[in-house]
Each structure stands twice: as structure tokens, then as C-alpha cells.
Structure 1
Amino acid sequence: MFIVKLKFSDNKSLAKDYMEGHKAWLQTWFEKGVFILSGSIKPSGGGAIIAIGVGQMELESIIAEDPFVIEGVVKPEITELAVSKSDERLSFLLE
């Protein structure tokens, strides 16, 4: 599992120009089952994504396709989390 932080850069003001493309990109990867959670980092820090079922290199390629990344609105930071324990409701993450 990976935690992806998309931290706003100095180009944060451009976010509104690329928001629709960013949302479409997110939806694509939710539909493919790679992204299982996303949301905003509060307050105004950018966003975060939880991704599963891919390796680091593949995820880096996916993240590089985000319009926010392409246009320098955010800087991605990918952290791998080796899940060893979860609440029963999230047991699928241990598979």
C-alpha cells in the first residue's frame, strides 16, 4: 500500500485551471481499483491518496500523469506502507 501526498507548490493558484482534469484522473484510477481513498490535506496543504495493487515504479508513472503534477501545481511524495495489522473492516488490505 502507498500513501501519496500531493503537496501544493508555489503554483497553487493554478489549481482551479486543472481541477477538472485532476478529478477525471482520480476517477480513472478509482475505477481501476488502484486508488481506494483520496482527500484534501487540511488546511490548504494539497491532497493525499491511498493506493493499492501496484508497485512503486508503476505508481510513480500513474502519479506523473496527474494534470496537477504535469503543470507543477503539486509536488508528489510517495511513501510505501507495509500493512501488518488492520481493523476488521479493512482486512482486505492484508491480503
Structure 2
Amino acid sequence: MFIVMLKFSENKAQAGQFMDAHKAWIEQGIQDGVFALVGSLPDVGGGILVHNLSRDALEQRIKDDPFVAENVVTPEIIEFIPNKGDERFSFLIDQG
């Protein structure tokens, strides 16, 4: 599992121009079953909880985000290996 932080970059002011495409990119990740949660990081950018995806595949997917491509945000990928949690999140917990 990964936590992706999308931190505002030099072209933050152009976010509106690419917002629709960015939202479509997010929706595709949700439909593909790899984005578990997506949300805002106030005054910083946004964050995504990603599962069911290799790091290489995630890095490629992130390159396809219009916000990343247009330097609206800079991505940071953090690997996270959950091993305990509420049963509602059992599908995210490493069974290995």
C-alpha cells in the first residue's frame, strides 16, 4: 500500500485549468480499484491512499496525472504496510 502526497508546486495557480482532467484521472483510479481514498491536504495539496498496485505501476500512473504533468503538484510516494486495524479495513491489511 502507498500514501501519495501531491504537494503544490510552482504552477499551483494553474490548477483550475487542469482540474477537470485531474478529477477524471482520480475517478479512473477509483474505478480501477487502486485508489482507496482521495482527499485534500489543506494549504498543501492532496493525498491518495493506494492499494493493489506495484510501485512501478503507481509511478507510471502518477506521471499520467495532469497536475503532475503540468507541474501543478509534486508527488511524494510513501510505502505503508498496515498490519493491524479495524475490521472494516481488513482488505487493506497485509495478509502475508
Scaled to the shorter chain, the TM-score interval is over 0.9
Q: Secondary structure at the match of 1:90?
A: helix
Give the aligned partner of residue 77 of structure 1.
76
TM-score using structure 2 length: 0.95
Identity of aligned residues (%): 49
Root-mean-square deviation (Å) = 0.7
What is the Cα deviation at residue 92 of structure 1?
Answer: 1.0
What is the Cα deviation at residue 10 of structure 1?
Answer: 1.8
Give the aligned partner of residue 86 of structure 1.
85
- What amino acid is the match of 2:38? S
Moved over 4 A (4+): none
TM-score using structure 1 length: 0.96
| Structure 2 counterparts to residues 7-86 of structure 1, below 5 A | 7-42=7-42, 44-86=43-85
1:18-62 alpha-carbon deviations (Å, 9 max, x no partner): 0000000000110000001001001x2100000000111110000
Unaligned stretches of 5+ residues in structure 1? none
What is the Cα deviation at residue 14 of structure 1?
Answer: 0.5
